[in-house]
Chains A and B, each alone.
Chain A
Amino acid sequence: MTEKFDAIVVGAGQAGNAAAYTMAKAGLKVLQIERGEYPGSKNVQGAILYADALEKIIPDFRDDAPLERHLIEQRVWILDDESYVGTTYRSNDFNKPPYNRYTIIRAQFDKWYSKKVQEAGALVICETTVTDLHMDGERVVGVKTDRTGGSVYADVVILADGVNSLLARKAGFHEELKPKDVALAVKEIHFLPESTIESRFNVSGNAGVVIEMAGKITQGMIGTGFLYTNKESLTIGVGCLLSDFKKQGIAPYALLEQMKAHPAIKPLIEGGEMKEYTAHLIPEGGYHAMPPLCGEGWMIAGDAGMFVNGVHREGSNLAMTTGQLAAETVIELKNENKPCTAKHLARYRAKLDASFVMKDLKKYKRLPEIFEKNHQFFTTYPELMNRAAHAMIAVDGVDKKSKERAIRRSFLNARSWKGLMGDAFKLWRAFE
């Protein structure tokens, strides 16, 4: 292949598909390379699809995309060993189209997305691993693949190769990821009859529920768990910072097993048939851990660029939006007859800064460090909250004022006034 493309996109995940689709739709000559057997076969997510980000790329996606359930209820649980305290938000407004969030199964969804990319005119090649970037001095001019004679050339390469971002690191664009900047999540999918899921979660039709969890299930590590309803299956998973896994010495699958055995979780998944076990890294380092995002002939989109908002469990939408913005940058430069130099690709950075992507990442820039240094938010407080709830709810002949005094004392013993005030301040700083 000595053919030259306007753009090469590495990877067929949410970022790569958004980029390839957008450029192909605009008439550019696009090559997309995916190492999996089919698009989606290497991709892992919870998974929740945020309609807004996809709507801006494929407005009529609801017509034929494989969607599982639209979400009408979100539960947040703070767990102790035997209990949880939580909040629930459920609204029938979420039960009226156009729906806002859906659960999806990535292998199916990505296959559909890739079909759209090909219909838009991009050339998609699967079962091909990009091994290196092809450089001409400082400039990226193409990619090398593991196919014989596998060099291909383009004016620009969009690196949407996922969290490990091997290509940019091999090229020296950024350093190795640090264990404190990534979370390792493990997940299982359990199949159950549709009617069982609907009665267990109090939904009907295509409506669904998400449960986000924190507390004792991560055994003192910084992380969260989740349980999502699909049409005929549930996905259940837990993720913690890699630096914590390393310190704690607990196997990730053992953590998942213990979570599944929690008395509040076990009945929800009871009887399900487990059909796949997956693991994936999530880039959680936030704004301060972001690599350079563009240079001579290259841009980075999606997980490879650390585009994840950990607090709000958003990542796939950032991937789509960053892929789209990278594509729009290339389209503009083509229309203006300008080369894809670092100077001109800097527009991508400007577009990111002007979008919700960078605004949100900047807003929470202090949070990863604050959480990393203050494990009490994931250990002490969940325990105190659960005990307080138990004390107030149990009817045992003790008057309420005495109970309140005991609860106050338990918080003070655990954290002291200074500690409590400090924690409140830290939380405010983290979310400011």
Chain B
Amino acid sequence: MIRIEEKLFQNRYRVDAGRPHINIADPSVCAVHCQEKSCTFCCPAGCYTQEGDGRVTLITDGCLECGTCRIICSEHRNVQWEYPRGGYGILFKFG
């Protein structure tokens, strides 16, 4: 089992506490209508977690700002995706 946290630990972030740049528009859509929940395995930073009761929770702190979650949610369009405020989010040391 690969722990994504160990990889993300090497990265540099300036987290905009309390102001996530990505939000799930309607959590009930994920819980009730979405079977695939592809965000929970496609996100390269593992930001999306499927809970036991079928809900999907999102923590954007480790986000790499790639855009994957927004694009793969093609059926439900349930991801509200913006870039973080200027200067916040991932800050690549090497890129």
At the interface, yes or no: B33 with Cβ under 8 Å from chain A?
no
Could you tell me if A277 and B7 are in contact, using CB atoms closer than 8 angstroms? Answer: yes
For chain B, the bracket of interface size reads 35 or more
For the complex, give the distance between the alpha carbons of A107 and B93 in Å. Answer: 6
Q: Pick from B81, B87, B92: contact of A126, CB below 8 A.
A: B87
Q: Given A277-B11, A279-B68, check contact A252 B42 (CB 8 Å).
A: yes
At the interface, yes or no: B29 with Cβ under 8 Å from chain A?
no
Could you tell me if A242 and B92 are in contact, using CB atoms closer than 8 angstroms? Answer: no
Q: Given A242-B71, A279-B68, check contact A252 B44 (CB 8 Å).
A: yes
Distance in Å: Cβ of A128 to nearest Cβ of chain B: 4
**A47, A129, A278 — most chain B CB neighbours (10 Å):** A278
**A108, A110, A163, A253 — most chain B CB neighbours (10 Å):** A253
- Which residues 121-180 of A sit at the B interface, judged by CB distance below 8 A? 126-129, 131, 145-147, 163-164, 166, 176-179
Could you tell me if A37 and B14 are in contact, using CB atoms closer than 8 angstroms? Answer: yes
Please choose the segment from A38-46, A207-215, A400-408 that sits at the chain B interface, where 4 or more of its residues have CB less than 8 A away.
A38-46
For B45, list chain A residues within 8 Å (CB): 279
For B64, list chain A residues within 8 Å (CB): 278-280
At the interface, yes or no: A249 with Cβ under 8 Å from chain B?
yes
At the interface, yes or no: A254 with Cβ under 8 Å from chain B?
yes
**B2, B46, B92 — most chain A CB neighbours (10 Å):** B92
Q: Which residues from chain B sit less than 8 Å from chain A, CB to CB?
A: 2, 4, 7-8, 10-11, 14, 36, 38, 41-42, 44-46, 64-68, 70-72, 74, 77, 81-87, 89-95
Q: List 30 A-B residue pairs with CB atoms under 8 Å apart, sorted by A's residue number.
A: A35-B83, A36-B91, A37-B14, A41-B95, A42-B65, A42-B92, A106-B94, A129-B83, A129-B86, A146-B85, A163-B67, A176-B77, A178-B71, A182-B71, A184-B68, A186-B44, A242-B42, A245-B72, A246-B42, A249-B38, A251-B44, A252-B44, A253-B2, A253-B44, A254-B2, A276-B93, A277-B7, A277-B10, A278-B64, A281-B66
Q: A37-B87, A276-B11, A276-B92 are in contact. List 13 more A-B contacts (CB 8 A).
A: A37-B14, A41-B95, A47-B95, A126-B87, A129-B85, A131-B82, A182-B71, A242-B71, A251-B46, A253-B4, A253-B46, A280-B66, A281-B71
